[in-house]
Structure 1
Amino acid sequence: MPIFEYVCEKCGYKFEKLIRSSDSDKKQKCPECGSENTKKVFSTFACGGNSGGFSAPSCGG
């Protein structure tokens, strides 16, 4: 199951939720204020590592 990011439009709290892809478009309850006025936000993935002394992040082999 993927992790989706949401933001509460009432209090502005950002949170992540591990849910089924089929349920990703359903409104999620804010864990901070309890409001169901939330929306899914665009998120990116991050990866990092140390490859030969460079400070730039690397992904994969």
Structure 2
Amino acid sequence: MTDERLPLWNVHNHNRLNRKAGKGHNELYELLQLLIAEQGVMDTLIQQVLSGNVTVGDLR
């Protein structure tokens, strides 16, 4: 029977990469959520400006 266990350095590297990937995924998800929310705000503002239902004070 052959020894198919991973060397410990390999397991450590995989764990480290998985942790980094997990953090990056969360940061990317949060950035996407922020961009989607900002897009919604801009869409609303554009619609208000185009409809004439906005004042100068609303743009500040």
Q: TM-score w.r.t. structure 2 length?
A: 0.21
Structure with the larger RCO, 1 or 2 (CA within 8 Å, 6+ apart): 1
Q: Which has the higher helix share?
A: 2
